Structure 1
Amino acid sequence: MSSILDLCRAGQLKAAFTQAEIYLTQYPASAVAQTEMHLVMLAYLKKAVAEADAAAASRCLRKLANLALPPHPGRDEQLFWEMRALLAALSKRQPVPGEAISELLTALTTVPVGAQPSKGRSVLLQAALKCKEHLPLTWWAWWNLETLRPEDFEQESFTPNGASKPVNLPAVAETAYGTYAAQLIDRLQMGRQPGAPAWLQTTGQAIAAQTRVSVDALLPRLEQLAADYPKYSWLDYRRAKLLAALGEDLPTTLAVLLPVVRRKSSEFWAWRLLAETLDATDAATATACYYRATTCGVEEKFVRSLRLQLASRLQEVQPGEASWQLQKAEETTKAEGWPVRGEMLSLQGKLAQYPPVPAADARRQWLETAEAAVYGDLPWQPVVLQSVRADAPDKPGAVYLLPPSAAGSPRALPVPLRRFKWVAKLPVGTPLQVRSELVNGKPRVLQVQKRPAGQAWDSLPAQVGVVTGSTADQARIFVTVRPGLRLSFAAADFGLMGLTAGDAVQLRLQAREKDGSTLYSVMVAAKTTEQPDAAIHREFAGPLRLHAKGFGFVDSFFLAPHLITRHGWQDGEQVSGRAVLSYNKHKEKEEWQVLTT
């Protein structure tokens, strides 16, 4: 009699199955009998995989489940790889046979397998995640997320053509946990849609109650993963949605959600989730967040539904704005070739008499309200606009904001130009204020506003210098700020024509490093009555000690012969005056220069 292996190789699967069944019935605990039966069933499965026959594969899997063969690492691995191949083939079909895939995976979850991590188990998960819309809920308990390998938590990256930076792809673990959470969210929300029939609401409540146990087990795991893998940015989003779907208290939900919105403030979905979370308790702020979501600069097809929501919410209080939002949704619908029906048809009838007019004042208020909801717990910090770098083919534009610093050389905060284009239209030095938070030890700017009470360049410390002289035409002024720091500026730039030596000026200086040296630029200069520091400006008085060569000293201050001659001073006469610290180019050193007496 031919062996079971020979029968399988010859394609005589019925004969092989009959022989294996007899052997397994006689010796149910025999590892050999179990292995030979699995060999036959694997041959059936391979045939179904080769023909991409999902129905035949499902029948094979249910038969294998009925045989109740004990789990075995080697046999499990063979099963995983075959199922991975079949899922890959099915997912490439157009249209994707979703119902067949769901039935196939449901059948697979009836087959007992062990709980050991393996390469085959992971590649099967990856294939299943490509068909995630068709995953049965039973899949997760069967596959067992606790069997993820360390490699499954690693993100891969690639650099797209023409890009300068690599793009990180989600890790297998990140996608798996996110997909599982999304399924639980859908179950929690079943029957909660406005206008849902009573039977669906009742069914949804029962399903939500059943789902609660799985959600309670998943939430701490998501929290731990977010802490261990901060690059898994979507997991906090899923955790916040789970909390919202559970109906947890608002502060608990917002504590998870707000950091997500801050990190993803340029993504429309983040503002939409915040709007959905707030709607039951604060409809006005929810409306503001819906509007903020539409300003994120994404393709219109992604925010079409949001514009319809806004049109519906605003039809009575802001009909012109509602009509404008509806018009934008209509344009997108037409461009995408989508049918006009349902809510859009209803709104067209209600808003037909109102011309589309954007509500400028309301929009500004909505933006302020939405951003206050997200950033309101963070303090404002004063900054000024330092510079703007325009977009370049190889580098996106940036706005540089200068915070205060007692040292006089603060480090500028860069923010993407695309997020704050309005700032680039302001003059440099404009006083602004920002809200920011630390990310990996570095401040990340979240919100920028004008600072009405500020002054130009006021984030730079004010310093009092003293004028030591000027060019012959008085166009350029020379100033000593402190010992070792001398500089000059164009008087006309600050409306300071007519300054004379000894005048005090208030300066704001911006420092920059070049070739190992610190260079200073005068950003603000104004005449002041404030007295300069004694290190650069002094008053003196005392008896004149006259030298035979015509010069003299009062205390330690040198008086040139022309001063003594002009005033007719005599030796021992009481003399008073002022002196400034100046630079003597001939002696190449700083020294006191007497200005007036």
Structure 2
Amino acid sequence: MSDSKAVFNLRKEGRLDEALAMAREGYAANANDIWMQRAYGWVLYDLIKHAVQEFEDKQIPPGRLANQLNTWLREYHQFGTNERPGMLHSNLLQQVIKASHVWPSFLKFARWWGPEYFTEEDRKPFRPPDGGREVPSLATRYVYAVGREAARQAADIPADLLAWAEQQVDAALHDSPNDQWLHYYKSKFLLTRGESEQARANLLPVVRRQSRAAWVWDTLGTTYEIEDPAKAIVCYFRAVHVARQPQEVANTHISLARLLAQQQRFPEAAVQVHAALAYRQDNNFRVPQALGQLAGMDWYRELSKRTDLPCPPDMAEAAEAILFEGEQARMTYRVGVLDHHNSDKALAHVAFSLEDGVVLPYRRFKNIRDVPIGRIVEVGFIEEARQPQRWRTTEHTGIDGFVKPMTGEVSKREDQSFGFLKTGTGERVFVHPALMDHLPSAESKAITCLAVMGKDKQGKPGWRALSWID
């Protein structure tokens, strides 16, 4: 006769196969023994954790992992209702989520697992002790996985399971209305029902935040295909342009080629067909029917022999126009001063006041890297959005109480590299050594700088020179 303590001991020693055999025997003998159920469950957890790790290390193929999950979670299903909510139930979910993209039965398991059984701890994000990047809570990762897999399998799963998955995303969106991933998955659900306009409304904020990601442009293009193919083409071209890896746009090439061919733009379409074929040939992937049909067209067979086909155009400006079309009325601009560039991290910082500012990544905000320190600019925000959306130049020459031109004489001590500009009214402006090295030549002793209100090392407010003004 097996007992739970012996199962726990075998598990502790790492003898999982023996522990599993003993747990199965003990459960068969007394299915109502809660301690045997728990011992059995923890053995299953260890087996699943080990298998998921092997999969992540590329030691086992996805099909084998899926088969193992089917077996072990079917066993857990026999008594798992007695473990929820609880640590075992939550820990099992942690591992299953990691394999959700390769396990076809994930959605059925997720519904059975039950979102109502999250513990208070499950709903808290994880903050690494070393101060690393915060990890979303288990409850959030659960909804992400449900949304992703339901959207991906929408055509193949029962209607009631698809509806349940969308309900989970809707409930999460109610609690986290600014979560970009939830909006993305919601847009995919809407697209399955042909609700392109509403899908686009959910998707546009995501594209604005992830404008250098191919997948968002591809999805946005899908929303335009029927009602405005020209905009769909722009989105698909943008996806191709920003893609980092060929697999990101393997199917985008096909969609783009099809639309270009419909508009008689055959040379451009041929470039996309060639790219789609080359990717599949290089990786020994099968050619999908839609691509095969395009490759079999007379126009492609003729154009594929040419070496002077056009390069794909850069649609950055047209794509940005689509992103903010109709949003100007809701765009609020704030006046700030560009007070810092971090070339190593490719970031610019614009300050609006002593305590308020925003970071503008070079990759997302075109030409911001070329704006000199000390330039007054305007940064646009869409109503209710915390992230900056656009920037533009302005005629402003200062910001009341925060940025202004100041004129005076500059002096420094011989033993110091920094200096001070002293105005006629006695105000002092700190001048950084880098600016002291580029003092403008002036016929008079008076020099003008653009100064910003800052704080010194002791936290005291004071003026600091940003740039010289001729």
- Taking structure 1 as the reference length, the TM-score comes to 0.56
1:379 matches 2:331:
yes
Equivalent residue for 1:389? Answer: 341
Task: Tell me what 2:390 maps to.
Answer: 447
Residue 161 of structure 2, aligned match among 204, 211, 218? 211
Residues 309/117 of structure 1: CA separation in 2 closer, same or farther (3 Å cut): same
Match of 1:273 in 2: 219
Q: How many percent of aligned residue pairs carry the same amino acid?
A: 18
Shift of 1:415: 0.9
Shift of residue 391 of structure 1? Answer: 2.8
Distance in 1, matches of 2:246 and 2:50, equals 34
Cα distance in structure 2, aligned partners of 1:444 and 1:509? 27
Q: Secondary structure in 1 aligned to 2:315?
A: helix
Contact 2:206 / 2:216 at 8 angstroms: preserved in 1?
yes
d(CA) in 2 for partners of 1:249, 1:329:
26
Q: Tell me the residue number matched to 2:432.
A: none
Give me the whole-angstrom Cα distance separating, in 2, the residues matched to 1:513 and 1:464.
12
Query: Structure 1 residue 297: deviation in Å?
Result: 5.5
Matched, 1:417 2:362: yes
For 1:410 and 1:495, the matched residues in 2 are separated by 34
Residue equivalent to 1:238? 185
| 1:311 CA drift (Å) | 3.2
- Is 1:84 aligned with 2:40? no
SS in 1 for 2:324: helix
- Return the alpha-carbon distance in structure 1 between the equivalents of residues 276 and 265 of structure 2: 17
Q: Which runs of 5+ in 1 are unaligned?
A: 10-34, 191-203, 470-478, 488-492, 502-506, 526-597
Q: For residue 445 of structure 1, what is the amino acid of its counterpart?
A: P
Contact 1:178 1:234 (8 Å CA) reproduced: yes
> Is 1:151 paired with 2:151?
no
Pairs within 5 Å for 1:246-325: 246-248=193-195, 250-251=197-198, 253-296=199-242, 298-315=244-261, 316=263, 318-325=265-272
1:255-286 Cα offsets, whole Å, 9 max, x none, are 54333333333333233333333434333333
In structure 2, C-alpha distance between the alignment counterparts of 1:524 and 1:321, rounded to whole Å: 49
Shift in Å at residue 50 of structure 1?
0.4
CA gap of 1:372–1:387, structure 2 versus 1, over 3 A, is same
Unaligned runs of 5+ in 2: 410-420, 430-438
Equivalent residue for 1:366? 318
Cα 1:388–1:74 shift into 2, 3 Å? same
Secondary structure, counterpart of 1:445 in structure 2: coil
- TM-superposed CA distance for 1:139, in Å, is 1.6
SS in 2 for 1:114: helix
Distance 2:334 2:238 in 1: 24
Larger strand fraction of residues: 1
Query: Aligned in 2, Cα 1:321/1:51: closer, same or farther, shift over 3 Å?
Result: farther
Q: Which residue identity does 2:68 align to in structure 1?
A: I
Q: CA distance change for structure 1 residues 329 and 254 in 2, over 3 Å: closer, same or farther?
A: closer
1:101 — aligned with what? 68
Secondary structure of the corresponding residue to residue 309 of structure 2: coil
Q: 1:410 to 1:90 in 2, by over 3 A?
A: closer
Distance 2:94 2:467 in 1: 60
List structure 1 runs of 4+ shifted beyond 6 angstroms: 461-469, 479-482, 493-497
What whole-Å deviation, never above 9, does each CA across 1:212-259 have from its counterpart, x for those lacking one?
A: 5524642442224425xx7x65333323323333445733x4454333
Indicate whether 1:123 and 2:95 are aligned: no
CA change 1:304–1:460 in 2 (3 A) is: farther
TM-score, scaled relative to structure 2: 0.68
Alpha-carbon separation, structure 1, partners of 2:331 and 2:69:
51
CA shift, 1:144, in A, is 1.9
Distance 2:382 2:214 in 1: 21
- Per the alignment, do residues 292 and 388 of structure 1 end up closer, same or farther by CA in structure 2, a change over 3 Å counting? farther
> How many pairs were matched up?
423
Please tell me whether the aligned partners of residues 381 and 387 of structure 2 are also in contact (alpha carbons under 8 angstroms): yes
1:330-349 counterparts in 2 under 5 A?
337-339=283-285, 341-342=287-288, 346-347=294-295, 349=301
| Cα drift, residue 350 of structure 1 | 6.4
In structure 2, do the counterparts of structure 1 residues 431 and 292 end up closer, same or farther at CA, with 3 Å as the change threshold?
Answer: farther
**Contact residue 400 and residue 415 of structure 1 kept, 8 A:** yes
Q: For the Cα contact (< 8 Å) 1:77–1:118, is it kept in 2? A: no
Q: 1:379 to 1:508 in 2, by over 3 A?
A: farther
- Whose RCO is larger (CA < 8 A, sep 6+)? 2
Which structure's CA Rg is the greater one? 1
Alpha-carbon distance in 1 for matches of 2:30, 2:229: 55
Please give the per-residue CA displacement for 1:101-124, whole angstroms capped at 9, x wherever unaligned.
Answer: 354257347625336311111222
